[in-house]
Structures are given as structure tokens and as C-alpha cells.
A = this chain, B = another copy of it.
Amino acid sequence: MADFITKKETDYSQWYLDIVLKAELADYSPIKGSMVIRPRGYAIWESMQSHLDTLFKDTGHQNAYFPLLIPEAFIAKEAEHVEGFSPELAVVTHAGGAPLETPYVIRPTSETIIWSMYKKWIQSYRDLPLLINQWANVVRWEKRTRLFLRTSEFLWQEGHTAHESKQEAVEETLRILDIYRRFLEDYLAIPVQQGRKTKLEKFAGAVDTYCVEALMQDGKALQMGTSHFLGQNFAKAFDVRFQTRQKELEYVWATSWGVSTRMIGGLIMTHSDNKGLVVPPRVAPTQVVIVPIVNSENKREVLTEAHKLYDQLSPHYRTVLDDDDTSSPGFKFSEWELRGSCLRIELGPRDIAKASAMLVRRDSGVKTSVPLIHLSKEIQTHLDSMHHDMYHKAKTFVDQHTHRAHSYDEFKQLCAQPISGYIIADWDGSDTVETQIKEDTMATVRVVNSIDPHDTKKPARCIVSGRPATARGIFAKSY
């Protein structure tokens, strides 16, 4: 695998695609805009699923499965929802050899089909809260696609919860946002910005959309997950009312939330380098690769030791022994750097003579000779350090690429930087200014936070209109 990876400084997009394709994470498919997730990529998704599923279940959520196909008329029941999703729908018009009486759309998201079922299942406050999650594929027909980041079909989880009060639903929305943040930081080593979306950027059908955003190495933001407070919008669209504790009829309060295989793209772009993929240890499919250093004389002895080591480590770590005898150690080093094994253990005759092995970290390249008797314990220490170092490296990058703009000129100058990053600016909260900034600079509001009145001596002003500012936005160019 002397496969060439484009340098990220030369062509960031091509660098990303080279890693995805050459590390065999995903491949293009014959279907426009759809990808194939290959075993090395899918293993990262399985690892993400497993951790997230535990976090959801620990907070009382249960999994279920709803149909892939949705009657076209359902989508139209919520006014904003149909406007947002219509342009992206794939439509089934024929089935079983005949035209369908009413067409079905492939789910772009499942609020409508799920709320049509909730109408059957929810009668009383005793049926609430209903906390359901679904792991599924969805289809949104996209014009411009990119492996993992934007594809016409993707895999995700979508939570859909029903509550008896507004407060409880808002709390759920924020609880999930916090789960996403913790997951991204604690498992993917990705620092995030969290906050609310503007009206122009929110989910079609939500009252409020909250999200977690991450900053990629090219200074663009990537939305990693969203959590929506839906108010009573879908309950009204599907007439889902319940008997309250006061024996009155009220519409149910709702949330929905999701993360997708897009996170794999975010993980690659946050951590990888010009040698290839770097994966945080807690979700890495290969945490340890053992590379025996052999020649014809010592081959048997070294391989015996390497197999012993494999047997010792594999119950504790996701371990591979690369004993392929048709390629050189140097070739294997490059190959496993490309594939993103967290640690490499080199084991040769000199190491064996010293009862030690050479341990090499993927993120830093640092080599440490470790006595074999301490190796298993040392590996855990190195994996933990690697997670923390990766997080802090990413956090430092974000801090270095986050700037405050006090005027629109300053804002535009920051946007013109090669790695523009996050730009924090106060604005009057109007759609007009938001749209103007987007048109002028390509930057959008990633999240909105409220203005801390202690943060500034004079009242905040909109950098564009000069009117009193009502919101502090984190702006960025984005994927």
C-alpha cells in the first residue's frame, strides 16, 4: 500500500476522499449519491451505535421500528415539514407489478409515520412519557453529495418522544443535546459548540432546534447532531390528544433528535493527518496492531512470540496480528497508519531478547520501549492518553480558530482567512441580516446563544444594522 494520499494543505477535499477510499471506509455505489459503507467504516459506526444505544437506554429510551415507506399525504400534514422535505423525497409509484393508488415516499425522517401510530397508542397521561428511538436508514435526494458527509441515503438514529407538558419536552430536548455533546467529547474526542439554531436554520416542523457543531481542520463547521423541541406541531397535525391528570384533553408535547453516519466524516476530518486515518481509541475498530519484524532466520521464534502476545492482548483490546509474510514491516507500518490503528507494537528479535516491545502511537508517532510484562497495562494508559491528547489537540485548534468580530468589516476579513473558523458576533436577530451575511460571506449562524449582559460595558449592537443586538451568534462557513 504505497497509496498516495493528497496532502490536506494541497487539497483538503481530495485529502478527505483519499482517506475514505484508500482506508476502505466507504466506496461510491452505482446509485447516484448513495455510498457503500465498507467493513472498516461500518465497524466505526457499530462502535458509535453501541455507546449511544447504552446512553439512550440508561435514560429510559426503548428501540422500535417503523415502516420505511410513508403515505405521501402524511408529509403534507405539517405545513413547514412538507415545505422543507418535498424537494428531497424519493417516491415509490409502483409496487407488486402495478401502479399504486396512492404513492409512498421513502422516509426522509419519521415524525409523520410515528405520530400516526402515537395517535393509536396515547390516550392518557399514563401512556406518557413515550420515549422511543429507531436505528434506521433514511433517504433525502441530494444534488451535491460527499461520502459520509452528505449522501442520498444515510444511516442514523432518530428519537421521537411524547410528553405531557411543555417543560418536560424541553428538558428532554436539552437532555439529549447533552448526551450528544458528551458522546462527541468522551468517545469521539471532538470538542463541540452547542446551542440553538435560528429560525432560518431550524428543522422543518420544529419550534426550536438545538444542535452540536464541530470545527473541521479546514475551518468549516459540521453539524454533528440535532435535538428538536417540536411543541405540539405534530400532535396537532395528527390529532394526538391525551387525558391530563386534571381529566382534560390536551395535545401531546413532542421532541425528535438524531445523529447519523455523517459523524464518521466529522471524526475523520477532525483527527486525521497526511498519513491517513486517526481514530479515537474508544471507537477505533483496531486499537492495537502487532507487526512482527522477521527475517528468514528468526521467523519461527518471532512469530511464536507475536502469537503469544496476540493471545494475551486480544481479550482486552481490539487487536490485529499482521503476520502476512508477503509484505515488509515498513509497508505494514504505512498501511496501518493509513487505516488508523491507535497503537502499533513492533516485535523483533532484539525486542524479544530484551523481553520488551516497541509501542508506537498513531496520533503523535511517539515510540516507547515497554517491558512485555507491563505491556497490557501500558496499552490502556496509552489509549487513555491518546484520547485526551486528541481531544485537547482538537480543542486547541478550535480555540485558535475562534474569533470575535466587533464590526462587519472585521467579520468579512475573518471570513476571508484561509481557515476562517468560528466567528462570534452580535446581531439584531433578524432574518434580513442573517441572509445578508450569508450572501456576502457564505458564513451562516451555526448556533445562537443569549448575550451575557456582564460581558460588555456598553449595550451590544448588531455588527451589520447597528440596531440593538438580541443574540450572539457563532458564525462559520459550513458543510
Report if A373 contacts B (CB, 8 A). no
Q: Which residue of B lies closest to A154 (CB)?
A: B65
Min Cβ gap A429→B in Å is: 32
Min Cβ gap A136→B in Å is: 8
State A87–B95 Cα separation when bound (angstroms). 8
Binary interface profile of A, 18-41, with partner B (CB < 8 Å = 1, else 0)? 000000000101110011111100
A94: chain B residues at CB < 8 Å are: 90-91, 93
Report if A5 contacts B (CB, 8 A). no
A142: chain B residues at CB < 8 Å are: 96
For chain A, the bracket of interface size reads 35 or more
Report if A453 contacts B (CB, 8 A). no
Binary interface profile of A, 96-125, with partner B (CB < 8 Å = 1, else 0)? 110000001010000001001100110000
Report if A71 contacts B (CB, 8 A). yes
State A315–B375 Cα separation when bound (angstroms). 31
Report if A425 contacts B (CB, 8 A). no
Report if A433 contacts B (CB, 8 A). no
State A106–B95 Cα separation when bound (angstroms). 10
- Given known A93-B93, A95-B91, contact A155–B65 (CB-CB < 8 A): yes
**The one of B29, B43, B92, B97 that contacts A66, using a Cβ cutoff of 8 Å:** B29
> Is B62 in contact with A116, judged by CB distance below 8 angstroms?
no
State A289–B243 Cα separation when bound (angstroms). 29
Report if A143 contacts B (CB, 8 A). yes
Report if A234 contacts B (CB, 8 A). no
Q: Which residue of B lies closest to A62 (CB)?
A: B39
State A45–B135 Cα separation when bound (angstroms). 13
- Given known A29-B117, A62-B42, A143-B96, contact A36–B67 (CB-CB < 8 A): yes
- Given known A95-B141, A97-B86, A97-B87, contact A113–B64 (CB-CB < 8 A): no
Q: Which residue of B lies closest to A120 (CB)?
A: B27
State A362–B93 Cα separation when bound (angstroms). 47
Report if A409 contacts B (CB, 8 A). no
A139: chain B residues at CB < 8 Å are: 68-69
Q: Which residue of B lies closest to A285 (CB)?
A: B62
> Is B65 in contact with A36, judged by CB distance below 8 angstroms?
yes
A89: chain B residues at CB < 8 Å are: 95-97
Min Cβ gap A46→B in Å is: 6
> Is A106 in contact with B120, judged by CB distance below 8 angstroms?
no
> Is A117 in contact with B34, judged by CB distance below 8 angstroms?
no
**The one of B34, B86, B87, B91 that contacts A67, using a Cβ cutoff of 8 Å:** B34
Report if A63 contacts B (CB, 8 A). yes
A132: chain B residues at CB < 8 Å are: 39
**Most chain B beta carbons < 10 A, residue from A70, A88, A95, A104:** A95
> Is A31 in contact with B153, judged by CB distance below 8 angstroms?
no
Report if A137 contacts B (CB, 8 A). yes
Q: Which residue of B lies closest to A65 (CB)?
A: B37
A67: chain B residues at CB < 8 Å are: 29, 31, 34-36, 153
State A64–B88 Cα separation when bound (angstroms). 25
Min Cβ gap A309→B in Å is: 21
A27: chain B residues at CB < 8 Å are: 117, 120-121
11 A/B residue pairs, CB under 8 Å, sorted by A: A30-B71, A34-B67, A37-B65, A43-B63, A45-B65, A46-B63, A69-B90, A90-B95, A91-B93, A91-B94, A92-B93
Report the 10 A-B pairs with minimum CB-CB distance, sorted nearest first.
Answer: A96-B141, A39-B62, A34-B67, A37-B65, A91-B94, A90-B95, A95-B141, A93-B93, A31-B67, A42-B64
